[in-house]
A and B are shown apart, each in its own frame.
Chain A
Amino acid sequence: MNTLIGLFTLLLTALVLENAIFSRALDVTALLVIPFGKKGIWLFGLILTGITATASLIAGILNPVMSSWENVQYLRPVVYIVVLAALYGVTCLVLNWRKKDWFHDYNTVLTMAFFNCAVYGAMALTVYSGFNWLESLVYGLGLGLSFLLAAFLLEQGRRCMGICNIPKAFRGLPAELVYVGLVSLSLYGLVGHQLAA
């Protein structure tokens, strides 16, 4: 029971306090810039959630193995990224084999979802926080869901900014960055004095 409560707290922490966008600024580009279309951002978020969960689970399993290596801090990022690439290759092969049409349509979305800071961040943070494999899985899940939460909040913001008379220099990306910054400032009331590193 205690572990369950702990895992739930960890999920909430990853979702709100250590939000992928607002407190760690991972994968802002995919949220703000990449034109996924109307429903595309949700699909992207769902795929990203699956990938962060899987990748951080693998990282959580690999971490105890890697900790005994020499020069581990040099090799760890390389190993993570190579594992990610292998995962990507397997996924592409399977999709190309079973669901060719879907893969042809959503090839770019899949690539963008696999290779970004959020997935790498989910893997790297399992080491910094010293999670075991179950905690890593939950943390990765929470980080992916936090991207969806941020996408939801930003959608509200976009609707609001659509009727605002924003100055010409700020229209588009700069105003959205300031908007995300102010939401991040509001979440600062929960996070308190700590740097996201």
Chain B
Amino acid sequence: MQPEQNSVKKNLRKELDLIFVKNPVLVTGLALAPAVVGGFTVKNGLGLSLVFGMVTIPVLVLASFLGMLSPKVPQYVRTIAYVVLAALMLIPARMLASGIAPNLFDSLGMYFSAMALNTVWLIRAPLCQEKKPQWALWEGVCQTLGVSVCILAVSAVRELLSYGTFWGNPTFLSVKFPAMAYAFGGFIVVGVTAAVLRWGIDRVHDIARLAQRQQQKWRVER
């Protein structure tokens, strides 16, 4: 294999880690606020993921373009450019969201717009300045996927527990925990989900290690 292709594959795989192994919300702990409070129904979770993607991907791409500017431009000027772009992206995001569910924006309140100032792009954008635009785009997509996986999982659990429904449809659950829709329920569900994810990753690593050892054994036997 050519070394160039190899590095492309490595880059692709490295960013794909963001979905589970380095999940931005559950493992790194970025953008916790909307996951904790905003996502108490699956519809809300989908809306939040949507606005996250609409804001983060353009900002990261812009960051990689601004990285081509001369290094004399101070960092705070670039940050202002990112902020303004993020704020402007809120308008189309909101139009799209009202297409999915008309009262989505009202139920989310300020958490919808607060997504424009999420910590993911605030921390990643300065690092994306050294990247090529296509890799910045790919990172934005993977960050969005990671955040969406977390928010959708958390919001599905919270909706099932607090209202006993899924996407507004009643389910088989008869016991409801209404308090799970409050902030403290969000904290606890996100914390437990993070712990479960970490436990699962550890087990997968264990299995992979075992398999590797077994393979080595077989090789020796041969």
Given A74-B94, A77-B87, CB of A184 within 8 Å of CB of B187: yes
**Interface residue ranges of B183-220 to A (CB < 8 Å):** 183-188, 190-192, 194-196, 198-199, 202
Q: Among the listed B114, B184, B194, which residue makes an inter-chain contact with A185, where contact means beta carbons less than 8 Å apart?
A: B184
**Interface residue ranges of B72-119 to A (CB < 8 Å):** 74-77, 79-80, 83-84, 86-88, 90-91, 94, 105, 107, 109-111, 113-114, 116-119
Q: B86 to nearest A CB, angstroms?
A: 7
Distance A173 CA – B194 CA, assembled complex (angstroms): 8
Instruction: Name B's interface SS.
Output: helix
Closest to A173 in B: B29
Q: Could you say which residues of chain B place their CB within 8 Å of the CB of A196?
A: 37, 182-183
Q: Could you say which residues of chain A place their CB within 8 Å of the CB of B187?
A: 25, 177-178, 180-181, 184
Interface string of B148-191 (1 = CB under 8 A from A): 00000000000000000000000000000001011111111011
Q: Could you say which residues of chain B place their CB within 8 Å of the CB of A116?
A: 117, 119, 122
Distance A106 CA – B8 CA, assembled complex (angstroms): 36
Q: Is A69 an interface residue (CB 8 A)?
A: no
Q: Among the listed B114, B116, B182, which residue makes an inter-chain contact with A195, where contact means beta carbons less than 8 Å apart?
A: B182
Interface string of A184-197 (1 = CB under 8 A from B): 11001000000111
Total A-B pairs in contact (CB under 8 Å)?
Answer: 163
B194 touches A174 (CB 8 A): yes
Q: How many of B's residues come within 8 Å of A, CB to CB?
A: 54
Q: Is B30 an interface residue (CB 8 A)?
A: yes
Q: Could you say which residues of chain B place their CB within 8 Å of the CB of A78?
A: 87-88, 90-91
Given A178-B191, A181-B188, A196-B182, CB of A28 within 8 Å of CB of B80: no
Q: How many of A's residues come within 8 Å of B, CB to CB?
A: 57
A81 touches B74 (CB 8 A): no
Q: Could you say which residues of chain B place their CB within 8 Å of the CB of A85?
A: 80, 83-84, 87
Distance A125 CA – B87 CA, assembled complex (angstroms): 18
Distance A182 CA – B79 CA, assembled complex (angstroms): 36
